Amino acid sequence: MKLNLLAIAIAASPTVLGAQDLVTRNRVGLPDAPNTLTFRLTAYDLYSTDQDTKAAFEELFSEFIEARPDWKIETQLQTGNIGQEQARLLQQVRAGRGPDCAMIDSSQLAVFKNAGVLQPMNAVFSEEEVADLFPYVRDAITDEGGNVLAWWWFTDLRVLYRDTSVVPDAPQTWDEVQVAAEAAVEEGKEGILFNGGRWEGTAFDWLANYWAQGGTLVDENGAPVFAEGENRQKFLDAVAYYQRLVEAGAAPQRVTSITDYDAFNAAAAAGTAAMFVGGNWQYGQLRNTLPEEDFADWAVSELPGPTADQRATGTGGWSIAALSDDPEKAELCGEIVKEIYAGPGNAYQGLLPTSEAIYERYDAYDGPEFELFAEALQNGVARPGAEIYPEISNQIQILIGDVLSGSASPEEALEAAASAVQAAYERQ
């Protein structure tokens, strides 16, 4: 039987007063509790600016800590600057000044894993629970010995949004995208929008076009190989796809300045864009932003590929990992993920769970869009678990900007990117 969020909220309501006492700005639990776990988290749940989300997580944390009266959780907030925050976190952990438990962005998980700072949480998660994870998630959170080094508690993916009043049928291939976008331009719309500025979203969204052809960024040793052998042509073909869209006017030149998914929501709200490459979470945002009749025109579909049967989508999300070598703390960290985030926390926020079982357990995932998301996740590709990935991403962002603004040819830009990545790799 599926759990209804409303029922959870009603059942939890008598404890609201208690929740306020137990949850403060930097602590969960009673101040004189003998044991302390430090937990570094993002500002999107327990300390969310959205009061409803905040209240829901306060309830979940309160129930959690009431069942463990000997413990208190000292909370530390991360800012939204992911790269800087995660680098600082790793530096602190290596210096022995890190928190006991922390949220780690999925793109950084490999760096932490390779640094050997993640402590197993095997006592909390059964083999069946690990087996139920999506394959790319399972691979990312376990080591060769099968130890659970983190728990990736929600994922996300990129999809193609389209205004069906302008583009009735979902384009399946790159060529179909261009044809549909050019037709939309003739109707006075911006054909297709995507991230093209200097930020992680640009590289991550574009990589789906490379991965769809079977391209790989690094080899099994973590060395960059995207400019070598067959990968080279796949890479150039994926760049050429974006280049054609801009040169044909199917995508506006301004894509090279887009560094935020919110730009697509704004364009959808203004009714100026026919299609955009966005994240799954934007579906709910559009539903809440657009008038009902306008929202009804918007649909999502899998990202098109070079051919209809070559598809991929980048998958991201956040994990939680134990950084303390105290087994009790590692276990408590795992229990926070299991009882608060991976399940009720997913469902409340509508975030995509990383295991099939959770989709089945909650009403929140009954919408038709989740069927599409679950289907697209079958072609999900996570960013490579290599220390060099952030620099590869940086160089792809530069490359896309240079090519789309006409500053360099794809070949020249690829040479420069490959050279820069190789130099950075040799310094690691």
Partner 1 sequence: MTATSERAPGQVHPAPWLVPAVLVLAAFYAVPVFDVARLAFSDASLVDPATEVSTAAFRAVLSNPALPGVVATTLLFVVVNVVALQILGLAIALLIARGERRELPGMAAFRTLVLAAWVVPGIANGLIWQILFDEAPYGTLNSILGGLGLGPVAWLSDPQMALVSAVIANLWQGTAFSMIVLYAARRGIDPTLYEVAALDGAGPWRTFRAITLPLLRRAIAVNTVLVSVQTLNTFDSILALTGGGPGRATEVLALFTFNTVFYNLDLAAGCVLALLLFALGMAFTLLIGWLNRGASET
Buried b (16+ CB within 10 A) or exposed e, 238-264: bbebbbebbeeebbbeebbebbebebb
Shortest separation between residue 413's beta carbon and partner 1, angstroms: 8
Nearer to partner 1, 296 or 423 (CB): 423
Under 8 Å CB-to-CB from 322, ≥6 apart: which residues? 100, 101, 118, 119, 120, 121, 329, 330, 333, 334
Shortest separation between residue 412's beta carbon and partner 1, angstroms: 11
Cα dihedral: 315, 320, 323, 324 (round 10) = -160
DSSP 303: P
Closest CA to 68 of 329, 323, 322, 326: 329
Shortest separation between residue 332's beta carbon and partner 1, angstroms: 26
| CB-count burial class (<10 Å; 0-12, 13-18, 19+) for 360 | exposed
Nearer to partner 1, 73 or 238 (CB): 238
Half-sphere exposure (CA, 13 Å, Cβ side) for 77?
Answer: 13
Q: Which residues bind partner 1 (CB under 8 A)?
A: 83-84, 87-88, 90-91, 94, 111, 115, 190, 196-199, 252-257, 259, 263, 266-267, 270, 272, 387, 390-391, 393-394, 397-399, 401-402, 404-405, 407-408, 416, 419-420, 423-424, 427-428
Closest CA to 425 of 228, 215, 137, 259: 228
Cβ contact 110:60 at 8 Å: no
Shortest separation between residue 417's beta carbon and partner 1, angstroms: 10
Shortest separation between residue 346's beta carbon and partner 1, angstroms: 29
Shortest separation between residue 213's beta carbon and partner 1, angstroms: 24
Nearer to partner 1, 302 or 387 (CB): 387
Nearer to partner 1, 8 or 269 (CB): 269
∠ at Cα 266 (375, 51), nearest 5°? 80
Nearer to partner 1, 286 or 352 (CB): 286
Nearer to partner 1, 14 or 80 (CB): 80
Nearer to partner 1, 222 or 401 (CB): 401
Nearer to partner 1, 349 or 393 (CB): 393
What is the distance of C-alpha 415 from the center of its chain?
29
Rounded CA gap, 35 and 44, in Å?
26
Shortest separation between residue 164's beta carbon and partner 1, angstroms: 20
Shortest separation between residue 113's beta carbon and partner 1, angstroms: 12
Shortest separation between residue 2's beta carbon and partner 1, angstroms: 41
Nearer to partner 1, 202 or 354 (CB): 202
Nearer to partner 1, 56 or 396 (CB): 396
Rounded CA gap, 199 and 37, in Å?
34
Closest CA to 100 of 24, 23, 35: 35
Rounded CA gap, 28 and 14, in Å?
18
Shortest separation between residue 427's beta carbon and partner 1, angstroms: 6
Shortest separation between residue 391's beta carbon and partner 1, angstroms: 5
List C-alpha distances in Å: 413 to 176, 210, 219.
26, 16, 21
Mark residue 43 as left, alpha or beta (left: phi above 0; alpha: psi -120 to 50; beta: remaining): alpha
Cβ contact 28:72 at 8 Å: yes
Nearer to partner 1, 40 or 361 (CB): 40
